Amino acid sequence: MQTLYILYLDRHHLGDDLFLKSLAQHFAETDSGDPPCLLVHGSGEKVERTLEAKGYFPDRTEGILDVETEEQRQLVERAVRETNQDLVAALTDEVVSTVGIQGVDRNLLGLDEDGVVTATNVGWLAALIKQRVVPVVSALVDGEEGPRELWAADVAVALADGLSASFDPVVCTLTTGDQPGVVDATGRRDEISLEALPDDAVPDPAAVRRLHEAGAAVLVTNLQGLLAGDAPEGTRIMTK
């Protein structure tokens, strides 16, 4: 079965304009749809700056801002949508075949009775990927008061589960440095246990833990490791 690489974009990378430009350029330099990739993102640091400018300083719990008012919820929703549009615009400017998808579109994302994120209506998404398109999916789900943000790590897990009938999904998390994976004195590690993964190797260790605990296949890499070689390379997190 063909491997699908689900790229989890953390807040650190989303807030870096130079990274976003590099992301688009790396995709432009590869053959369209090779390897098959899907990008997943939340609001990033942009929404925090927006809220702070209005005098709001919410904390984050499991990657999600603790909004308290309808105005805050709307600001977060707008920031997530704008982040999606920015990513798609950057890729489109480099002539990458891409499509922006909000998690609320076509009932893509939902929550089960236990509050777990689900992605069940994925047939149309799988068809896009097979057409060599790069989907950019935001972590928005319909709530009682309107669309709200989910933790993008949970969305990545849900999409990996939902698309597993069509692909062999691997969730990719980006390193903090310029190496395609975890590097020690012996060189790049092909695999590593979650316990041995240095906290400073990735910007969001909590997301890597969540992905691993959910049973997802996880590859720690960078843009060069994911897109520049004959096949993606990096450090795999050992499965349970």
* pTM score: 0.93
Per-residue pLDDT tens over the stretch 51-82:
888 887 778 877 778 888 888 888 889 889 99
Residue 226 confidence (pLDDT): 93
Residues 92, 133 contacting (CB under 8 angstroms): no
Q: How confident is the model at residue 199 (pLDDT cuts 50, 70, 90)?
A: confident
Sequence spans of domains, the chain: 3-237
The two beta strands, 98-101 and 134-138, are parallel
Query: Which stretches does DSSP call E strand in 191-237?
Result: 191-192, 218-221, 235-237
Q: What is the CATH number of domain 3-237?
A: 3.40.1160.10
Most confident of 31-45, 85-99, 108-122: 85-99
